[in-house]
């Protein structure tokens, strides 16, 4: 939803939407019908469910000098996914020219994993599920970082 809001209000794509909501606008987010995983092509079905589902652990490369790289203290991360829709990478340059940074990408640079807002104290949005790797006494780094930023703000 952050991607759609940014496209509508910062990039002036007034009908930006997701194909999940129908075909009445510009699909900034769409159903993925196929992708490669470990060299194997995964294709969709005739039931319009995309390439089944992007499910499980996937690697994301983290952009140098990004907030997300500071949070993780790493050049890459592995996070768990469970979804059928992806951000359309063809809009990447347009988003970045307007201040939204694609700070985490799949190793092949085709799937946006993490976005940030340039010049914002803490705005991070992710495609994966950090709650899957969080525990009461061992919170996910995103949650700890957000709470610390809120406390400091």
Amino acid 83: pLDDT: 82
Q: Residue 84 pLDDT more than 70?
A: yes
**What is the rounded CA–CA span in Å between residue 61 and residue 107?**
6
Amino acid 49: pLDDT: 54
The CATH number assigned to the domain holding 143 equals 3.40.50.880
The domain containing residue 45 runs over which residues? 2-152
State pTM to two decimals.
0.86
Q: Which residue has the higher pLDDT, 55 or 124?
A: 124
Q: What percent of the chain has pLDDT over 90?
A: 69
DSSP alpha helices (H): ranges in 51-134? Answer: 67-72, 92-97
Q: How many domains does the chain have?
A: 1
Show the tokens assigned to 109: 């640079």
């Amino acid at each position: 939803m952050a991607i759609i809001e940014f496209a509508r209000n910062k990039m002036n794509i007034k009908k930006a939407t997701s194909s999940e909501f129908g075909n009445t606008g510009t699909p900034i987010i769409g159903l993925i019908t196929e992708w490669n995983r470990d060299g194997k092509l995964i294709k969709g079905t005739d039931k319009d469910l995309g390439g089944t589902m992007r499910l499980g652990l996937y690697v994301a490369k983290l952009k140098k000098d990004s907030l997300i790289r500071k949070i993780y203290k790493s050049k890459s991360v592995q996070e768990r996914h469970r979804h059928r829709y992806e951000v359309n990478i063809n809009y990447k340059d347009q988003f970045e020219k307007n201040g939204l940074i694609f700070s985490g990408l799949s190793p092949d640079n085709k799937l946006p994993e993490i976005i940030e807002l340039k010049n914002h104290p803490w705005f991070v949005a992710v495609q994966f599920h950090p709650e899957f790797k969080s525990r009461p006494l061992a919170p996910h780094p995103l949650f700890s970082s957000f709470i610390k930023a809120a406390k400091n703000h």
